[in-house]
Structure 1
């Protein structure tokens, strides 16, 4: 009979050519470290760029606000007080395009509600107010026809309990207050001019205000004669 081959049970030796998959060579480790460092620097640069971009956005926003404020202030200076009826009509039309902006502007001019009557002439000039009343009676221009401006003013003044009737009363009072002051000032100026001229004809240089009534009557008659004479001379010239 043939002999069977015997097999050894000794453990197998690892081949010197086999490589452990968990082992990374030194050059590869160095490359990964470099890449990680590059990624970290890149992230830092991106973060810095985001910060700078946000700062630029904030700066631009502030610049836009400043430009808007400058534009608004320039608009206020060139628009108010409204100097003519044509300008009044134009402002009324413009308010329709941007009512919120005008409400803010008018609030800045008026301030508190209690100052409205006194500051109405800062919105509409005296020359225009003299041509207005609210309803347009006595051959005046009706302020109520400028509906957009009225709506904007009402929006500025409106508070709890403040209704349309209150607003109309305030507008009438504002116009009345200005006209009263205007005509009183005009009368005082005319009186001062008259008294200055009459002083020239006051006997003994006595102040006109202190002279007795009979002398004042005489001065006024004399002043009337001199005025008439001066008028004739001007017409002859």
Structure 2
């Protein structure tokens, strides 16, 4: 009994040692896997943090550019343009003289790409256009007398091969087109008014004729009865 008992004990001890060895190996494996996973996660977090920092920097740069663009945008231009009257035009001319580069950018964003022929009304109000022309002829105020603004307008629309004479021709044409639209519209309105007046007169005449005809009929009827 003592022999087999000792054998069993020995076998049990061996099994225990084997189990402990296996358990230790598994713990070491799990520990190794866990450490590598944590290291990989840390690396990914570091990369993500770096990317976020780069993104924040890019966003800051974009915002700075947007602010600069806002200063030279149509939204800023719309506050000062179109100019409504001559006194405001004189003030704008002084501002352009003090900061021509800024106003060239403003006018370029306002006029281009179509140019001054189509978009002069974005710079000068229609009432002001009607009171002006380019050269100051026919007792009109000339745009060319506002030298700083006039020069800025040319710089705003200037392109390769585009001369100052080309610019003057285009501005004169812009004045002419804008005024012709007003004249044409006024003519059409006057024509409509005239047609309305004639229609009223015709209706009045028809009413008078109807009343006269009825009076004649009544008199004839009385004579017949008599």
TM-score, normalised to structure 1, is 0.58
Which residue is equivalent to 1:33?
none
Kindly indicate whether the alpha-carbon contact (under 8 Å) linking 1:199 and 1:205 is maintained by their aligned counterparts in 2: no
1:127 is matched with: 127
* Correspondence 1:81 to 2:82: yes
Contact 1:83/1:124 (<8 A) preserved: yes
Once the two structures are superposed, what CA deviation does each residue of 1:162-201 show, in whole Å capped at 9, x if it has no partner?
2222111111111111111111111211221221122111
Give yes or no for contact 2:97–2:148 (8 Å, CA) kept in 1: yes
* Structure 2 residue ranges without an equivalent (≥5): 1-45, 207-226
Secondary structure (helix, strand or coil) at the match of 1:200 reads helix
Q: Normalized per residue, which structure has more helix? A: 2
**1:161 matched to which residue of 2?**
161
State whether residues 133 and 142 of structure 2, in contact with CA within 8 Å, keep that contact through their aligned partners in structure 1: yes
Question: Which string of whole-angstrom CA distances, capped at 9 and with x for unpartnered residues, describes residues 36-68 of structure 1?
Answer: xxxxxxxxx9x9999776654433332222233
Shift of 1:74: 3.2
Work out the CA distance in 1 between the residues paired with 2:88 and 2:177.
22
Distance in 2, Cα, partners of 1:101 & 1:57: 27
Change (3 A) 1:48 1:156: same
Number of residues of Structure 1 aligned to a counterpart in Structure 2: 162
1:132: how far off? 0.6
Moved over 4 A (4+): 47-57, 203-206
Task: Map 1:15-164; keep pairs closer than 5 Å.
Answer: 55-71=55-71, 72-112=73-113, 115-164=115-164
For structure 1, the residue ranges without an aligned partner over 5 or more in a row are 1-44, 207-237
